[in-house]
Amino acid sequence: MTLSLDIANLTALYERGKTTPEATIEEIFARIGAKDVAPDWIALRDKESVLDSVRRAPRGPLYGIPFAVKDNIDVAGMPTTCGCPAFAYVAERSATVVERLEAAGAILIGKTNLDQFATGLNGTRSPYGIPANVFNADYISGGSSSGSAVVVAAGLVSFSLGTDTAGSGRVPAAFNNIVGLKPTKGIISTRGVVPACKSQDAVSIFALTVADAAKVAEAAVAFDKDDCFARADAPSFAVETAGRPLRIGIPNAPLSFFEDGEYQRLYHHTIDRLAGLGAEITPFNFAPFRDTAAMLYDGPWVAERLFAVDDMNDDDLHPVVRDIIHNGRNKSALATFESFYRLAEYRRAADAEWNRMDVMVLPTAGTTYKIADMLADPVRLNSNLGAYTNFVNLLDLSALAVPAGFREDGIPFGVTLIGRAFADGQLAAIGDALHRALDGAKLGATQAALSDAAPVAAKPAKKKTVEVAVVGAHLRGQPLNSQLTERDAIYRETARTAAGYRLYALPGTTPPKPGLVFEGTGPGAIEVEIWEMDEAAFGSFVALIPAPLGIGTLVLEGGRQVKGFLCESHAVRGAEDITEFGGWRAWLGRTAVA
């Protein structure tokens, strides 16, 4: 039986001693050699280097799991081309997301082909060749993350990273019968990713199953202070059961399938499957989402694409990519602000529709095309592919693309579950159930059965929680820490405040307590502990806090904001300024020594 590379299977085999990561790498290179490197890969690591990485890999949750990255994502020591040889440079440091995955034990195999500068949804815009659909080489693979999707679907790696600005992490997933997770913007770092539209970019995950995509996301999602678009308020990634009854939104007006009756039929079958799973099917007004989608390439965001390529020679750019990007030069400041105002109006209208539903389900794409047809009409047909994907990042939504059947000619069809920001974990639970409702589903283009792969491990939906920064007597090991632990609060991390804060030793307090005050002149960097507790417990905790202390909003290094202890300014008059010690624990230690 052919080795399935789904993460749960490999991990189980390693744990039982049935195979080793080294044997998996040997198998992968044999498969790549049989299929050939081009056009799916742009750069492949030397096998001996990969095996050396296995020997040095941490035994984390992704230990020995092979993966690939789209070649607009930096890997230390490897060229980053963005599908443009003239642009190529050798990265000195890997992207944050790559560092996190390797720290979890994952093994990088190589870098994959893409629509040049991540501009396109079809996969035909690269001088390195055209990755074809794994089920029919006459058809497009989808882009811009074409190679990343193909190598997963073909069983060459367990998962891969793409990027998704307009649908590039979803359309290739649909066309190749795999899962594409487009996370909420800012929860996976984009530091080390060459931007397409920097304000709208997201790193995406391709995998054989929803469970695998979730496993990768658990390792990849983290706040990165070096990423200016990172979301400090983002929760950790966790698969959660959705509330009941689950309201699934479908458009209240007919969608365009561009004369593809098979895709239309498969979409309606998907709706029937969701109803069979107990979901409440709810019509909603798709107009504000549709109108937002039209703005992505007609609005000022196309000018953002100039950021990475403005100094490139036109002759070095793919002709279609060049024309699209150059259109950004025609966007005026006035038109830009007009678009921002219109987007705000669409967002308000879209927010009203979310009151009707928990999740919307759309075809990932209304149809697909043969490579020859795409090359003959590259702009119009590509635009059709983004009809149901382009709006997602502009409206700050989460999305998960899952397989949903095949046309009679064997071409895959997929749907996308779309939720509000930070609904990623709930989408995973729904998406896994929907994927598994398909009869006889296989993993990508392999013969491995979905039914043999592990399902997602969903937890009950989390209660609302509050992060609280404590600075003194509530620290671990201090006299009042029990007020946190008896409320089941969880210690999350040790952090430091931003500049402007000063710390004082308050006189006459029992037990001894410090007072943290924002005066605007302090150097900051005061050590605090971040604890997370249930929102209901937070109220009873606050009720215990005596004056002059209270709970306010603290700003941490990097700009992240949390609730935390602050002191009324009058109480520190005459108190000892202990800011120089950098924290209460350090001050206690110094006084103990003295």
Contact 41, 151 (CB under 8 A): yes
Q: Buried b vs exposed e over 161-170: b needs ≥16 C-beta within 10 Å?
A: bbbbbbbbbb
Same domain, 196 and 257: yes
Same domain, 403 and 469: no
* Last residue of one domain, picked from the residues 390, 425, 452: 452
Looking at the DSSP bridge assignments, the partners of residue 193 are 73
Contact 367, 423 (CB under 8 A): no
Domain-located, residue 496: yes
What dihedral do alpha carbons 62, 65, 66, 70 form, nearest 10°?
A: -30
CATH number for 545:
3.10.490.10
Which residues neighbour 558 within 8 Å (Cβ) at sequence distance 6 or greater? Answer: 223, 225, 232, 498
* Last residue of one domain, picked from the residues 452, 477, 507: 452
Residue 463's pLDDT band, with cuts at 50, 70 and 90, is: low
pLDDT digits (tens, 9 = 90+) for 76-109: 999 999 999 999 999 999 999 999 999 999 999 9
Average pLDDT for residues 481-508, to the nearest whole number? Answer: 90
H or E element in which residue 361 lies = strand 359-363
pLDDT at 1: 57
Greatest CA separation found in the chain?
82
Summary mean pLDDT of the chain: 94
- The rounded distance, in Å, linking the Cα atoms of 205 and 535 is 32
Q: Is 496 helix (H, G, I), strand (E, B) or coil?
A: strand
Same domain, 416 and 486: no
pLDDT higher than threshold 50 for residue 165: yes
Same domain, 244 and 152: yes
Domain-located, residue 417: yes
Q: How many domains does the chain have?
A: 2
Residue bearing tokens 């308000």: 348
pLDDT higher than threshold 50 for residue 594: no
Same domain, 386 and 482: no
pLDDT-above-70 percentage for the chain: 98
Identity at 314, one-letter amino acid code: D
Q: Identify the CA nearest to 319 among candidates 84, 131, 113.
A: 84
Same domain, 65 and 170: yes
H or E element in which residue 550 lies = strand 549-555
Q: Buried b vs exposed e over 91-122: b needs ≥16 C-beta within 10 Å?
A: beebbbbbbbbbebbbbbbbbbbbbbbbbbbb
Contact 187, 234 (CB under 8 A): yes
pLDDT digits (tens, 9 = 90+) for 421-438: 999 999 999 999 999 999
DSSP state of 13: H
Contact 113, 126 (CB under 8 A): yes
Same domain, 47 and 131: yes
Domain that holds residue 328: 7-452
Domain-located, residue 288: yes
DSSP codes of every residue in 177-195: T-EEEEPPTTSS--TTB--
Same domain, 421 and 536: no
In this structure, of 128-137, 239-248, 500-509, the range with the lowest mean pLDDT score is 239-248
Q: Just list the catalytic residues.
A: 70, 144, 168
pLDDT at 302: 81
Average pLDDT for residues 1-23, to the nearest whole number? Answer: 95
Residue bearing tokens 């209460």: 584
Domain-located, residue 460: no
Same domain, 443 and 493: no
Domain-located, residue 458: no
- The rounded distance, in Å, linking the Cα atoms of 454 and 446 is 16
The two tokens of residue 307 are 């950021």
CATH number for 415:
3.90.1300.10
Same domain, 448 and 478: no
- The rounded distance, in Å, linking the Cα atoms of 481 and 421 is 33
H or E element in which residue 418 lies = strand 412-420
CA distances from 10 to 68, 153, 263 (A): 16, 16, 34
Domain-located, residue 2: no
Domain-located, residue 1: no
pLDDT at 536: 83
* Last residue of one domain, picked from the residues 397, 427, 452: 452
Which residues neighbour 594 within 8 Å (Cβ) at sequence distance 6 or greater? Answer: none
- The rounded distance, in Å, linking the Cα atoms of 118 and 123 is 9
Same domain, 489 and 359: no
Distance of CA 82 to the CA centre of its chain: 20
Domain-located, residue 82: yes
Same domain, 302 and 411: yes
